[in-house]
């Protein structure tokens, strides 16, 4: 596992990005940058699928960068977009840039 603090998938200026964590009906969590999408869908760029997380606050603790939070991400290909029908999404919330978070590892 490698720390992804300087992952090429992340933007050099993440402060200007809208990073989110998305939960779909099947119980999977995804992280990425929400981008413009056709009506009825949510699309993430620079995306990854959660492969486990821990620490106080659960997935919400990870999203807000709690100091004891840890997350393991499976990165999608840099040019791949993750597209979800809106009716498959059960939750979406703002997140810190997990690629710059010290608690983030990749599988």
Residue 7, pLDDT above cutoff 60 = no
What is the per-residue pLDDT across 32-42, written as a single tens digit (0 to 9) for each? 999 999 999 99
Residue 13, pLDDT above cutoff 50 = no
Residues with Cβ within 8 Å of residue 72, at least 6 apart in sequence: 1, 50, 51, 52, 53, 104, 105, 106, 107
pLDDT computed for residue 97 by the predictor: 95
pLDDT computed for residue 17 by the predictor: 74
What is the per-residue pLDDT across 44-80, written as a single tens digit (0 to 9) for each? 999 999 999 999 889 999 999 999 999 999 999 989 9
Domain layout of the chain by residue ranges = 2-11+26-106
């Amino acid at each position: 596992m490698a720390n992804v603090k300087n992952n090429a998938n992340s933007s050099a200026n993440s402060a200007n990005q809208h990073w989110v964590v998305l939960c779909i009906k099947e119980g999977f969590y995804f992280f990425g940058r929400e981008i413009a999408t056709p009506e009825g869908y949510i699309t993430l760029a620079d995306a990854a699928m959660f492969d486990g997380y821990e620490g106080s606050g659960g997935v919400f603790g990870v999203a807000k960068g709690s100091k004891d939070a840890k997350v393991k991400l499976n990165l999608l290909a840099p040019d791949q977009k993750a597209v979800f029908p809106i009716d498959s999404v059960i939750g979406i919330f703002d997140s810190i840039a997990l690629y710059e978070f010290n608690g983030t590892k990749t599988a």
